[in-house]
Amino acid sequence: MATLDINRVRKSYGSMEVLKEVNISIEDGEFLVLLGPSGCGKSTLLNIIAGLEDITGGDVLIGNRVVNDLPPKDRDIAMVFQSYALYPTMTVRQNIEFGMKIRGISAEERAKATKAAAEMLQMTGLLDRKPSQLSGGQRQRVAMGRAIVRHPELFLFDEPLSNLDAKLRVDMRTEIKRLHQRLGATIVYVTHDQIEAMTLATKVAVMKDGIVQHFGTPQEVYDRPANTYVARFVGSPAMNILRGRLVASDGPVTVAFETSDGEALVSGVPLSPESAARFRDREVLVGIRPEHFTMDTAGAVPLTVDMVEPTGPDTLVVFSAGGADVVARLDPLAISVGTKARFGVKAEKIVLFDPETETRLD
């Protein structure tokens, strides 16, 4: 098992810059998720870590060793691809044993390792089938088995669940998490699904246009997103971001924003004295997660209910503020469209952003 350091890594295809100075460091045994929309450079970064793409600038270190010029096979890694990339003409057993064969491991050892992996992934009965005779979930298992028998320092996963149906995806997600705990392996995992990222990761790197927007634990990324992009990308429904104002006062930090029914004044928002001074009486962006609204007849936020969406465990209430829709997630409640009400806000959870740079204010 190993640490992974990505130092100022850049990648260009011709004149097109796909990665611009990526910096990420993880400890031994961590589960790093690269999260971002399609085309942001996740797979490119993963391929660079694997050695399948040349690096344009910067260094990749696996276990404190610079691997920039090492071919993939010497990096002590295993990779699971989005399409699984099983060798179509080989049986499952041959697929799993192919790498070991090349590394000159004896037939006996190979059989033992294959058996152990097959048992771990519950696919003992599939060993003599061809990939074309397997379901999507089974192929996924085989791809994992092929990676496991390698006992690598570092596992790389490129959207391994994106071809599965919703139910199987959740099952395999649990499976991968269990695998991580059992093997104690260091894992880099690419996805554009923020739920996968939140449930699996010990560290998340949210990427956009080849730049890491936020690197931190899932909870940090969720609670204190580095900018409005991260705030909107992580969490569902997304964080509400409203135009508001920092009220001039010498007491607790207070923000004001307009709703369709008047002004909301919320005080007790966490903010450093420097930022509070800098933005005193100026416009800010107010970020509120849907679940941080509360049902409170004496609350700070006056509103008219525009829409009600019961989801089962809770109810989403949509109202309008400053011309935008705001979503509140509340315990199941009976409330009808058109009702005038007041909601409270957990002020200590509010995040403020600079309206120009859209980065978070400390």
Partner 1 sequence: MATKSLARQRAMGQTFIYGVLALLALYYLTPLWVMITTSLKPLDEIYGGSFIGLPQTVTFEAWSKAWSGACIGTECTGLKPYFINSILMVVPAVLLSTGLGALNGYVLTKWRFRGANLVFGMMLFGCFLPYQAVILPMAQVLGKLGLSGTIPGLILVHTLYGICFTSLFFRNYFITIPDELTKAAQIDGAGFFRIFFSIMLPAALPIIVVSCIWQFTQVWNDFLFGVSFTSGSDSPITVALNNIVNVTTGRKQYNVDMASAMIAAIPTLLVYVTAGRYFVRGLTAGAVKG
Ligand X SMILES: Nc1ncnc2c1ncn2[C@@H]1O[C@H](COP(=O)(O)OP(=O)(O)OP(=O)(O)O)[C@@H](O)[C@H]1O
What are 175-178's contacts with CB under 8 Å, separation 24+?
175/121, 176/144, 176/200
Stretch that binds ligand X, among 34-42, 71-79, 221-229, 351-359 (CB under 6 A): 34-42
What's the closest the beta carbon of residue 258 comes to ligand X, in angstroms?
A: 38
Pairing of strands 324-330, 315-321: antiparallel
CA distance 6 to 63: 11
Nearer to partner 1, 23 or 89 (CB): 89
Q: Among 44, 95, 259, 315, which residue interacts with ligand X (rule: CB under 6 A)?
A: 44
Nearer to partner 1, 74 or 263 (CB): 74
CA distance 74 to 80: 17
Going by the DSSP 8-state scheme, the letter that residue 360 receives in this structure is B
The interface with ligand X within residues 172-231 (CB under 6 A) comprises 192
Q: Among 4, 18, 148, 179, which residue interacts with ligand X (rule: CB under 6 A)?
A: 18
Stretch that binds ligand X, among 32-40, 68-76, 163-171, 238-246 (CB under 6 A): 32-40
Contacts of 48 by beta carbon, 8 Å cutoff, 6+ apart: 9, 11, 19, 54, 55, 60
Sort residue 268 into left (φ over 0), alpha (ψ -120 to 50) or beta. left
Pairing of strands 65-66, 4-13: unpaired
Residue 102 near partner 1 by CB under 8 A: yes
* Residue 85 interacts with which of ligand X, Mg ion, partner 1, none, CB < 5 to 8 Å by class: partner 1
Contacts of 219 by beta carbon, 8 Å cutoff, 6+ apart: none
* Residue 44 interacts with which of partner 1, Mg ion, ligand X, none, CB < 5 to 8 Å by class: ligand X
Structure tokens at 189: 């995992």
Half-sphere CA count of 187, side-chain side, radius 13 A: 29
Nearer to ligand X, 145 or 160 (CB): 160
C-alpha closest to that of 210 among 32, 36, 3 = 36
Q: Among 71, 184, 312, 313, which residue interacts with partner 1 (rule: CB under 8 A)?
A: 71
CA distance 66 to 89: 36
The interface with partner 1 within residues 79-98 (CB under 8 A) comprises 79, 81-83, 85, 87-90, 98
What's the closest the beta carbon of residue 47 comes to partner 1, in angstroms?
A: 8
Handedness of CA 291, 306, 227, 203 (dihedral sign): positive
What's the closest the beta carbon of residue 11 comes to ligand X, in angstroms?
A: 8
Structure tokens at 90: 């080989």
Residue 151 near partner 1 by CB under 8 A: no
Residue 142 near partner 1 by CB under 8 A: no
* Sequence letter at residue 339: T
Nearer to Mg ion, 3 or 43 (CB): 43
Contact indicator for 188, 156 with CB cutoff of 8 Å:
yes
* Residue 13 interacts with which of partner 1, Mg ion, ligand X, none, CB < 5 to 8 Å by class: ligand X
Nearer to partner 1, 43 or 227 (CB): 43
What is the H or E stretch that residue 169 is in?
helix 166-183
Q: Among 23, 37, 59, 73, which residue interacts with partner 1 (rule: CB under 8 A)?
A: 73
Binding track, positions 26-65, relative to Mg ion; x by CB under 5 A: -----------------x----------------------
3-state secondary structure (DSSP) of residue 104: coil
| Residues binding partner 1 (CB under 8 A) | 47, 50, 52, 71-73, 77-79, 81-83, 85, 87-90, 98-99, 102-103, 146
